[in-house]
Amino acid sequence: MDVLAKLRTLDLTRLPSRRARLLRRWLAVGLLLTGILLVAHPGSARGAPTTPTVVAARDLPSGATLRAADVRLADFPGETRPSGALSTLDVAAGRLLAGAVRAGEPLTDVRLAITIPASGDPATATVPVRLADAAVAELLRPGQRVDVVAAPGGSASVLASGATVVTISSPEAGSARPLAGPAKGPLVLLRLPEEVATRVAAISLDRPVTVTLR
């Protein structure tokens, strides 16, 4: 601010007209670049320390597996950086999202599903399922084994046995509605053999789904 004040008090009329015009142009360019820097990097431009933070590169739905193109690094000042924010891209690579995120939103540890050791099946997949009864989701814990049950209207049928609970996610108060569509209930990520997971994912879109505890 002191530099700008001195420039304002500079009597340009005493300089030759050509030099005065050049000085005005350079001053205008300098002010423009300063404004761009303040907008693009508000913390660093003011001298505040920043920390590399992993943010979503685009809108991502709940249950998505993070790839290189899904995340990027951005500098966040300490006062705006959320607690538990990730600092390196390799920490997020291959992890599952426990909830939907918007482009530019910082990724924190609670946004990622807990990693569960492989069950031994040669080919497994993780499928997000919205349970018809929210009370059932409150009984589940990561690593727990459950059977997936669907009710076609009359008698119930078992869609999959021995599914592993990866994580449980319920909408936070005041948060935006999930990107994938209207929510029917708490979202549960289940690990299943790949062919079974495909069937469960398809059926759960049309029929109420719940789980039984083992």
Q: Is the pLDDT of residue 207 over 70?
A: yes
Q: What's the pLDDT score for residue 45?
A: 47
CATH architecture of the domain formed by 50-111: Alpha-Beta Complex (3.90)
Q: What pLDDT band is residue 181 in, cutting at 50, 70 and 90?
A: very low
Look up tokens 């999930």; give the residue.
Answer: 178
Closest CA to 147 of 192, 208, 179, 181: 192
Distance CA 114, CA 60 (A): 18
* pLDDT score recorded for residue 103: 92
As a whole number, mean pLDDT of residues 183-203 equals: 80
- Element housing 201 (H / E): helix 194-204
Q: Please give the pLDDT value at position 14.
A: 54
Lowest mean pLDDT among 26-35, 45-54, 169-178: 169-178
Provide the pLDDT for residue 71.
92
For the chain, the average pLDDT equals 75
Per-residue buried b or exposed e for 162-176, using 16+ beta carbons within 10 Å of the residue's own CB: ebbbbbbbbbeeeee
CA 197 to chain centre: 24
Which residue ranges make up each domain of the chain? 2-40, 50-111, 124-213
- Can you tell me whether residue 83 is helix, strand or coil? coil
What whole-number distance in Å separates Cα of residue 53 and Cα of residue 46?
19
Q: Comparing 9-23, 84-98, 158-172, which segment has the lowest mean pLDDT?
A: 9-23
Least confident of 84-93, 95-104, 114-123: 114-123
